[in-house]
Structure 1
């Protein structure tokens, strides 16, 4: 009687949260974060438990076959929901229908050849295997693509592993005691449904928490990004530099200010749409040419900043020259024009940056060096000089003569 009440409450929980997930997915519009798949998973599992209550016990009937199929289809829906949450585009209905058809056929084959015990044991065995794979995937995610959600992922792994263990124990009990192990008044069945009710109460709010956490992270990311180039803005750059020095306290960095030469001339000659295309193109070149881990940002207008992390003076100069040469070699096609557009950049390099609080000073140093480079003819790299004339290293100039007409 207690187990039956627990199953009824479990059905109510699953159905309520299925509706809630569906409503959330509607509010999220294009990016549903897997909430629609989680809603389907909850609905399938609740329907399976409803069929179990209607059966009244162990049986061999179309209702029982459908019950087993829905029970195992729900983890498939949860798996797809998890993949969608992390940005993978995975279809939902086609895999579910394919799995349902294949498992229904497998039930008929196993029941006709090995008997009813084998069919119920197959259900428990497959469930244990699926949840074991799911636990392994969650642990892997906590170590790789979901490091920002490590605590939450470990929490999910512990909960899912509990389902895996219970299904594995049910599989063993079926092999030892046959169908008697499935009697609703058995202690094991009571423990099983208590745990499932616990999961139905804890997991759905946890999933909602993950969605809210991800939405909050995305909003913070939008606030830290330039809307045109998707590079870090000044706020994002400051936060990233602070995070770097919190982890690497004894390391140094250098600030490089990159300014597109004659950008106003480009805008006046070709229009703001082409000007925006030039900025996006320069942003892509800077990202592709910078070292892995370096910070690339856009401060505004035609001015970009690259923070070269963990490098020495000569390394910063070499990086700046590589960036300058990469932009110079890039061409941009202009609709209706016979020749592609070429642009160049001038780069100012600061002295060593030792901590986040000195970022503004380093930006000023790089800006002074940038101004000197523009005064000297553009398309060059200049390093900051102290009042006594000492500088970071030898200034690097373009190997090509600067031709303003070509630059514009």
Structure 2
């Protein structure tokens, strides 16, 4: 088996993974996480290697120029796909077409001035620099934007660093030995394409695993978050409370039941769109007013729950008053009539508790205090009497 056979197998491999990424991207609808761009990268590299097989020995011609352009554009596509994977919107076709145009012009200039060997060296050197940049970005990501994927980023950086070293070695060999260094029967080309086959076998499934991992994380978040306000739902509240009380340093907690006053009237007068805006505004007010570590939850409708952790009765009352005042001072734009909507809240506070199993009991205590506050005129804080 020589490098030509390995290259042919690699072409098939790349094109198959291109189809796989394309099929995955069609299932992900609006949030494709870069899978469609990964498919484009595999297509570009697969076509480049097909042209290399059809073109025969290294030389000069239209097929060779197109081959080199596609080869350089493929890793650029992978970079753009990785950026999209990390939820950073970036254009794809404009950068790819720009790189393709500039590199084609560069090839023609190098060919005209320095010859065919220099043009092949240009590709190897450009790829080495590009892969070096990718390796540095992966190492940087381990400490910044991909801290939750440190092991994966470390492995990717090692593998991408390997192809960087091989391209740098190819660059040096072309400069010293000329085009014979690219002979497909040489030992170096055998090692080069064996390593490329290894990357083509390992990296695509690894990328698919990362996509699946991200989807699982999203499903986990959706399972514990309210879709409208982004606050915890009841399940998320229970899980967060249980996690808090598992700590040996956990202190007592108080439950604050928060209800928006006259919410049905707001919906009836201004419409459900304004009603949703009021819910979101109150949710953000509670979230921003709560202390770090407190749990903020939307139970449903216009009812919210705040768990004040590691505090005493006075601290819980002060927190509730801050939330009541912050809600009363906020405004939401109305539609019919077009005037600001003022929303107030009534808050009931439970007795202190020290275990997640007491959640239903303290929720009932806070609910009783809440309705006492509503009966007393709303826009106020009430607390459950000591037993």
Residue segments in structure 2 that go unaligned for 5+ positions in a row: none
Give secondary structure in 1 for the equivalent of 2:32.
coil
Distance 1:383 1:122, change over 3 A: farther
Task: Name 1:348's counterpart in structure 2.
Answer: 348
User: Which has the higher mean CA deviation after the structures are superposed, 331-340 or 360-369?
Assistant: 360-369
Shift of 1:365: 4.9
Q: Distance in 1 between matches of 2:255 and 2:140?
A: 36
Give secondary structure in 2 for the equivalent of 1:320.
helix
Q: Distance in 1 between matches of 2:21 and 2:122?
A: 30
Q: CA RMSD in A?
A: 2.8
- Please say if residues 2 and 190 of structure 2, whose CA atoms lie closer than 8 Å, have aligned partners that are also in contact: yes
Shift of 1:22: 1.4
Task: Name 2:285's counterpart in structure 1.
Answer: 285
1:9-408 mapped onto 2 (5 Å cutoff): 9-243=9-243, 249-252=248-251, 254-270=254-270, 272-291=272-291, 294-308=294-308, 315-337=315-337, 339-350=339-350, 356-387=356-387
Shift of 1:313: 5.8
User: Which has the higher mean CA deviation after the structures are superposed, 162-171 or 172-181?
Assistant: 172-181
Shift of 1:310: 5.8
Distance 1:141 1:311, change over 3 A: farther
Distance 1:310 1:64, change over 3 A: farther
Shift of 1:44: 0.6
Distance 1:10 1:342, change over 3 A: same
Q: Distance in 1 between matches of 2:197 and 2:327?
A: 60
Shift of 1:35: 1.6
Give secondary structure in 2 for the equivalent of 1:144.
coil
Number of matched residues?
386
Give secondary structure in 1 for the equivalent of 2:305.
strand
Shift of 1:142: 3.9
Q: Distance in 1 between matches of 2:353 and 2:123?
A: 61
Q: Distance in 1 between matches of 2:128 and 2:315?
A: 54
Give secondary structure in 1 for the equivalent of 2:297.
strand
Shift of 1:172: 3.3
Give secondary structure in 1 for the equivalent of 2:101.
helix
- Please say if residues 261 and 345 of structure 2, whose CA atoms lie closer than 8 Å, have aligned partners that are also in contact: yes
Distance 1:367 1:159, change over 3 A: farther
Distance 1:113 1:313, change over 3 A: farther
For residues 310-330 of structure 1, the C-alpha deviation after alignment (integer angstroms, 9 at most, x for no partner) is 666655444333322221011
1:5 maps to 2:14:
no
Shift of 1:126: 2.0
Give secondary structure in 1 for the equivalent of 2:230.
coil
Shift of 1:190: 1.3
Give secondary structure in 2 for the equivalent of 1:304.
strand
Q: Distance in 2 between matches of 1:309 and 1:159?
A: 46
Q: Distance in 1 between matches of 2:332 and 2:128?
A: 56
Distance 1:147 1:234, change over 3 A: farther
Distance 1:105 1:316, change over 3 A: farther
Shift of 1:290: 3.4
Q: Distance in 2 between matches of 1:327 and 1:42?
A: 53
TM-score, scaled to structure 2: 0.87
Q: Distance in 1 between matches of 2:352 and 2:175?
A: 70
For residues 334-374 of structure 1, the C-alpha deviation after alignment (integer angstroms, 9 at most, x for no partner) is 22326422121122345666554554455445445434544
Give secondary structure in 2 for the equivalent of 1:296.
strand
For residues 223-268 of structure 1, the C-alpha deviation after alignment (integer angstroms, 9 at most, x for no partner) is 222233232210122223444566x542445543222123344345
- Please say if residues 270 and 336 of structure 2, whose CA atoms lie closer than 8 Å, have aligned partners that are also in contact: no
Distance 1:74 1:310, change over 3 A: farther
Shift of 1:54: 2.0
For residues 34-80 of structure 1, the C-alpha deviation after alignment (integer angstroms, 9 at most, x for no partner) is 12111110011011111211222221222222111111100111111
Shift of 1:174: 3.2
Task: Name 1:393's counterpart in structure 2.
Answer: none
